[in-house]
Amino acid sequence: MSPPQADMENETAFFKNRAPTLYFIIAIKLLKGLLFLLLAFGVYRIADENLPELFHEVLRFLHVDPENRFFTELSARIETISESRMVWLAGGTFFYSLFSLVEGVGLLLRVSWAGWLAIGESAFFVPIEIFDLLHRFRIAVLVVLILNIFIVWYLLQNRQRLFRHPRRS
């Protein structure tokens, strides 16, 4: 094979392995992981605060009427949340954020287990989102459902091309 032809094959292989859709999925996973990580730290930080008072401060900051029926009921529910429950919520959110971050980094490194992890996680939420839509239609849930279905389909269809597979002896 002549050198120009070898260079052309290497360039073709490079462009074949470029995957803008995969990079979009990676960005979603990493962004989701970072947002949940920030949420976990935020929840942990306010765990020992006076939650009803903090809630009323937020309402005043947003110039929302705290005497509104919805906010009054929400405030009553917030009063029942204990510090230990907030710490548990922060811990669960923290571990879920790590899950998303590991998934995103694994996809970035194109390891096959990360592809299967992303397929499994996205597929796990599809029936939950369908159930939610059947009980109360919300456009945001519909968008997330479509996105998860697309992620599962795309990764399943392209897993051989996108991910390194261990060599078999």
Sorted by where each begins, the domain ranges of the chain are: 1-109, 111-169
Task: Please report the pLDDT score of residue 14 as a whole number.
Answer: 45
Three-state SS at 111 = strand
In DSSP terms, which residues pair with 111 in a beta bridge? 164
Task: Please report the pLDDT score of residue 1 as a whole number.
Answer: 54
pTM of the model: 0.75
Task: Please report the pLDDT score of residue 63 as a whole number.
Answer: 86
Task: Please report the pLDDT score of residue 165 as a whole number.
Answer: 64
The contacts of residue 137 (CB under 8 Å, 6+ apart) are: none
Task: Please report the pLDDT score of residue 162 as a whole number.
Answer: 87
- Provide the token pair at 35: 């947002």
Task: Please report the pLDDT score of residue 50 as a whole number.
Answer: 87
Task: Please report the pLDDT score of residue 55 as a whole number.
Answer: 86
DSSP assignment string, 6-60: HHHHHHHHHHHH--HHHHHHHHHHHHHHHHHHHHHHHHHHHTTS-HHHHHHHHHH
Q: Kindly list the averaged pLDDT for each block of 10 residues, start to end, along the chain of length 169.
A: 53 59 94 96 91 87 85 86 92 95 94 93 95 94 95 92 69
Residues 113 and 143: beta-carbon distance below 8 Å: no
Angle at 71 between CA 68 and CA 74, to 5 degrees: 150
Place of tokens 């992620």: 151
